[in-house]
Structure 1
Amino acid sequence: MRKRFPLLKKQRLVRPSPVVGSPGNPRKDAALFALKIFIGLIAAAAVVLAVIFVVIPLANGESIVPESEPLVEAEYNDPKDSIKNETIGDISSYQKEAVIQYNTENDAYLYGHEIVFSSASVKNGISVYDKLVVFDLETEESEEIPVDLKYENITQTRLNDNYIVFIDSSSAGGGRIMMYDRSTKETSEIKSFVYAMPQISMYGDTIAFLQQAGNSLDRLYVFDLSTKESAAFQVWPDLPAPTSAADLSAAGLTYAVPTTDDDVISSVIYVQPLDGSEIKRLDPGRLAYYPKATGDYIAFQASTSGPPTDLYLSKNLEMPRVIATNVTNFDVGDGFIAYTKEGTLYIYFLETSETKQLNSLVSHALLSNVDRTRVCWYDVTGGFGNLDIIKYADIAEELNSAEDDR
C-alpha cells in the first residue's frame, strides 16, 4: 500500500512558481556531472567552515587558535578509537552488470527491476544529458521517455512504479524539478529554482527536497506526486551553516539543522516518522551531513576537521560512533549501510557490525543508490571516460545469512 505523509495535509500549500532567472555558476564537465555535484557539496562545506573559523576571526583581530576544544560530548568517539581492525569479507559474487546499450548513463537510480538515468547527445558540439531512459533488468531493454525540456540537462533521476522525477537543469544555473506520470505519460513541473540544485529524495509517491530561497532562507519541501500537493514542511531563516540533503524513507523524513551554542556550530538531526508520531531528535555535537535513517539507526557524515568524510552511526539515538573514514558517499538499506571508500564499495551489516566488500577486488566502484536489499553502483575501474558501466547486486541472501549467524 502506498505510504502517505500525514503532515502534508496540515501544512500550507505552496504552488510551483515560474523560473524568475538563471543566475549561477557555469556547469562543470557534463561527463562527471553526478560525481562533481557531491564533491562540490563537500568543497562548499569546507569553504564555509574555513570562513567561519579562520577568515572572520582574522578579520576581527582574533587568534584562530582555540583556547579549548569545541563543545563535544565526552563520550563522542574519535575515528581512530572506534573502528575495529577486522578481516573484510568478500561478497562480490552477488554483483551483476546491467547490459545497457548506451555509452553515457548519468545519475543512475535503481528501483525494483528498473534503472532510470539520463544519457547524453551532442548539440552544437556540446555534450548535454537530454535523454531520459528507463532500463529493465529482467528484459534487458531500454525505453526512452519523451519529455519536453526547457533547459539542457536531465539530472537527479528518480522513479517508482507510478512516476519518474528528474531535474531539468540549466547550464547557466537554476532549473525545474519535474515529474512524469507513467500511466498518463504526461510531464508537469513541480518546482522551479534559481539557486543551488536541490537533492531529491523519493519514497513511495512522495518526494522531499531542500531549497535555498535567497541568501538567508532555506525551505524543506514535501510533495505528494499523486495529488500534486506541495508543502513547505520547514522554513529556516539565517542558519549559521549550509543545510545538506534531506532523506525520505520508511523510517521517516530525516534532516539536519545547523545550530550554534556558545559560538560553536553543530547540527541537530530530526527524524519525522511517516505515521505522524513523535519526532526523534539526535544531537551529535558537531555538524552532520546527509543524514539517513533505517529502523533504529541514523547514519550521517561528519569530520573532526576538513571535508565530512567520516561515517557515523547511532542506534536508538545513542551517541554516534565512527564506522568508517575517508568515505565518499553512502546510502542505507534494509539492515545495512553501503558506502564508497577509496574506490571500494563496502556493505556494513547493522546487526552484526560486520563489513564486507561488494565490488570485485580488482575493480573500482562508486555507489549510486540503495533500494531495500539491492545496491547499484558505477564500475569506474577505467576511470571516467566515454563509457559508463553500471553494476548492481541483491544481497538479500547475505542479509538472511547474517541474521541466522547472529
Structure 2
Amino acid sequence: MDDDRDAAGQAVYEIGGQQYDLTTPGYSEAVARAHAMQQRPRCMCMPGGVETYVARLSGGYVVKRMPDTGDQHAPSCPHFEVAADASGLGALLGTAIREDPVTGLTALKLDFSLSRSPQRLASRDTSVRALATAPSCPRLSLRGLLLYLWEQAGLTRWQPSFAGKRSWATVRRRLLQAAGNKIVGGRPLLDRLFVPEPFSVEQREALGRRRAAFWAMAAPNSAGSGQRLLLIGELKEIVPARCGFKAIVKQVPDQAFVIDEHLYGRISRCLQPEISLWNAGDDIRMMSIATFSIGASGVPTIVELALAPATREWIPINDAFEQHLVERLVAERRSFLKIARINPRGRGLITSATLLDCPDSPSNLLVDVNADQPFNPDATQELKPDRKWIWHVAEGPMAALPQRQGASVRHG
C-alpha cells in the first residue's frame, strides 16, 4: 500500500437519528440525503456530537468540519484541528479565507498575482517578500498558501502507521484534493495549480505531453498578457545557467525553471534561514511554491518563490530545533499534529505541535529558543498550565515527552 490515510473511518456521524461511519452500509446514501436536505451531520467524537456539513466535491460528497470548529473535536478525531490562532490563521479567516458551508467552496484572497501584463512585469517587485515580513493586509502570502494547503491536505498530521507510506504520489493526491474546493478570483484554484506527477523515465514522454497541455493555458498572447501558474514541488537545487540561474524540481527533472539574477539575489537574502537549514543535512526536504509564466519559447520562468523546509515525512518545520522535536516524535512512534505557521506573528513562543495520543496530560509542545531573554510565562498564558510541555533550548537537552495514553475516539 503506497498510501497513508488519516483513519477517516474512525469518524462516526449521526445522520437522521442513525450513526454511520465510512464502513457502514448505506453511508454514502445517508450523506447524499443529508446534502440534499441541507442537514448537518454531527460528528460523535465528543459527547453530544459536533456539527459538521456535507460538501459536494468532484461528483461525490464529503463530510467536512464547520469553519473554525476544529478544536471542538476530540484530538484523535480526523476533524480535529488546533485553534486557528495557533498558526496565525485566525487573522485570515473570514477575510483572506472565506468558507461557505452551503456550497462547500472556500474563496481565497492572495497577496500575489496570478495574472501578468507588460506593465505589471516591469513594475511589480514582490518576489519572496512574503518571507521577509508578515503580510500587512489580510491576504494569503505565497508561503501561507503552501502551508494552508498542506494543513488542509492533512499532511501536518502524523501517526505511526504512516511510516514508509507517505510518498510523493500521496502528497500530490492530497494536495489536489485539498485544492479541489478552493476558489481564487472567481476561478477554481485547480485551473492554475501544477503539482507534478511522480517522475518516471519510462513515462517521460507521456508526462511531458500532459505537462505541456496544462502549461498551454499560460502561453502569452499577442499583447504579452496571459496567466501565471502555481507550482508546488520539492526543490532539488538552484544552479547557474548560461544566463542567470535555473531551479530544478525533483518531480520535473527534465525541465528547468528560469530564475533571473535579480530574483536569485532576493532569494539569497530573504530566504537565508530556510536555505541554511536545507544545506545543513540531507534529511531536509525543501518544499517550494512559485508563480511562473511560460515564454514564447515554451520555457517556464519563475516570477515569485517561497520555500518551506520539511522532514523526510513531509512534515513542515521552521528550524533545526523543530526538526529535532519532530524527528523524536516520529522515532518514538507518537501521533501528533504539527502546527504550520501559516501567518507568522513574529518570533514569539507558540505551539510547535500537539500530541494526539495523550488527551488527559500535557499535549501542546512548545520550543523556547530565545536564549537572550528569560522565559516569560505570560507568552503561553492562553494555554492551560497542565496542557503544555516546553523545551527550553538554552537549559539543555529535550526532556522526556508526555507519556502516550492510547487515545481513542469517543462515540455517542
TM-score, with length taken from structure 1? 0.30
The structure whose residues are more often strand, as a share, is 1
Larger radius of gyration: 2
The structure whose residues are more often helix, as a share, is 2
TM-score, with length taken from structure 2? 0.30
